[in-house]
């Protein structure tokens, strides 16, 4: 089998890429996903988050290594194993990245990723009920339907002098707010709904579900193909133009544990049990930690230094490797949200 592009993982990134790459009708795209269909009641119904959080049919259910900062306990690390990836099981909170992070990113060499460019992309991608942008990603303001507790919580924060914002994605970053949700008509509106399904309707994208990529073929420094398992079949596919590996946090965590933003693809491949046929380099993104389970674990392990009665927004580290705790990028947080 030969394609122009092969995308490993039909998660948030894979769905967006399938959409962008298939806009050229002459391009053939293969998307390989280890999990199955997202046509499940508890995925579509937002409340189902509570069930998919630990359902092995749609969740890899990772466990981090024992962490000194958590008194040696292991944090539970849910990740989607289903069409739509973690985006099919996440909490649907829609929070844009922070402007200065993008500007820093460009300053560090990522040309074109400054906030002005990225803000325009957000504008094109989103659509809102109050200011319809016309983009495929539906973002809803559900603050009127939230638990009364949330309103009391925000009122209490305002009383203590914290800024309470109407829109968490507005330019000011300090403060508390309800978050907007990727929900449409009362149902989860995932990356698969917004990007993958329209791409599949074009006819030049093939999605293979329940297929585990086991090996990347790397020839002369280029990833040229994959070998994946489908049932008891071992299948090889070749990419004429590019291979894009966006299998989520497992790869990113391994890369972070290796201690670099840029790791040798060979090393990553070795840690994943992949085979290689030549040297190469990859650029995995750093993995975010699961804040919810860290907070759940921190009651007897962390103090708020200098908090003086005010919770100080900070994140903690979760290690991906027992011998090397991975520091999560927590310097930019100034937004707290109410569910």
Q: In whole angstroms, give the CA distance from residue 304 to residue 125.
A: 38
Closest by CA to 247, choosing from 42, 1, 17, 3, is 17
Does 80 sit near ligand FAD (CB under 6 A)? yes
Neighbouring CB atoms inside 10 A of 30's CB total: 24
Q: In whole angstroms, give the CA distance from residue 293 to residue 332.
A: 20
Q: In whole angstroms, give the CA distance from residue 93 to residue 12.
A: 14
Q: How many chain residues bind ligand FAD (CB under 6 A)?
A: 30
Selected from 12, 22, 224, 319, the binder of ligand FAD by CB under 6 A is: 12
Neighbouring CB atoms inside 10 A of 237's CB total: 20
Nearer to ligand FAD, 25 or 187 (CB): 187
Quick one: DSSP state of residue 78? -
Q: What do you get for the CA distance between the two ends of the chain, in Å?
A: 46
Task: Record the tokens describing residue 293, joined without a space.
Answer: 């389970």
Selected from 10, 75, 196, 200, the binder of ligand FAD by CB under 6 A is: 10
Nearer to ligand FAD, 48 or 85 (CB): 85
Q: Decide if 337 contacts 145 (C-beta within 8 A).
A: no
Could you tell me which stretch among 90-98, 133-141, 235-243, 253-261 binds ligand FAD (CB under 6 A)? 90-98
Nearer to ligand FAD, 35 or 325 (CB): 35
Site string for ligand FAD, 300-339 (x = CB under 6 A): ----------------------------------------
Task: Record the tokens describing residue 160, joined without a space.
Answer: 């203590």
Does 225 sit near ligand FAD (CB under 6 A)? no
Task: Record the tokens describing residue 133, joined without a space.
Answer: 């942008």
Selected from 6, 89, 258, 338, the binder of ligand FAD by CB under 6 A is: 89
CA atoms within 13 A on the CB side of 170: 12
Nearer to ligand FAD, 247 or 325 (CB): 247
Binding to ligand FAD (CB under 6 A) within 48-67 occurs at 53
Selected from 9, 136, 175, 325, the binder of ligand FAD by CB under 6 A is: 9
Does 175 sit near ligand FAD (CB under 6 A)? no
Does 248 sit near ligand FAD (CB under 6 A)? yes
Task: Record the tokens describing residue 334, joined without a space.
Answer: 């100034």
Does 280 sit near ligand FAD (CB under 6 A)? no
Q: Which residues bind to ligand FAD, rule: CB under 6 A?
A: 8-14, 32-35, 53, 78-81, 85-87, 89-93, 95, 212-213, 246-248
């Amino acid at each position: 089998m030969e394609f122009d592009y092969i995308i490993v993982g039909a998660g948030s990134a894979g769905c967006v890429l399938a959409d962008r790459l298939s806009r050229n009708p002459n391009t053939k795209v293969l998307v390989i996903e280890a999990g199955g269909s997202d046509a499940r009641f508890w995925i579509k119904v937002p409340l189902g988050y509570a069930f998919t959080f630990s359902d092995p049919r749609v969740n890899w259910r990772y466990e981090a290594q024992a962490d000194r900062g958590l008194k040696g306990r292991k944090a539970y690390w849910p990740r989607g194993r289903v069409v739509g990836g973690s985006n099919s099981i996440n909490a649907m909170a829609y929070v844009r990245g922070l402007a200065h992070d993008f500007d820093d990113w460009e300053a560090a060499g990522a040309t074109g990723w400054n906030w002005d460019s990225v803000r325009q992309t957000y504008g094109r991608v989103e659509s809102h009920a109050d200011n319809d942008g016309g983009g495929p990603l539906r973002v809803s303001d559900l603050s009127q339907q939230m638990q009364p507790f949330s309103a009391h919580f925000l009122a209490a924060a305002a009383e203590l002098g914290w800024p309470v914002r109407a829109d968490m994605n507005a330019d000011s970053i300090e403060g508390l707010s309800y978050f907007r949700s990727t929900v449409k008509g009362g149902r989860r509106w995932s990356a698969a709904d917004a990007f993958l399904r329209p791409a599949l309707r074009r006819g030049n994208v093939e999605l293979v579900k329940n297929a585990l990529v086991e090996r990347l073929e790397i020839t002369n420094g280029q990833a040229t193909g994959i070998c994946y398992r489908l049932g008891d079949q071992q299948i090889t596919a070749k990419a004429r133009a590019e291979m894009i590996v966006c299998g989520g946090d497992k790869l990113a965590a391994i890369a972070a544990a290796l201690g670099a933003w840029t790791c040798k693809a060979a090393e990553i491949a070795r840690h994943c049990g992949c085979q290689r046929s030549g040297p190469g380099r990859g650029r995995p993104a750093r993995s975010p930690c699961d804040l919810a389970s860290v907070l759940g674990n921190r009651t007897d392990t962390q103090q708020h230094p200098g908090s003086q009665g005010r919770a100080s927004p900070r994140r903690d580290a979760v290690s991906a490797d027992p011998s090397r705790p991975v520091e999560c990028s927590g310097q930019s947080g100034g937004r707290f949200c109410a569910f």
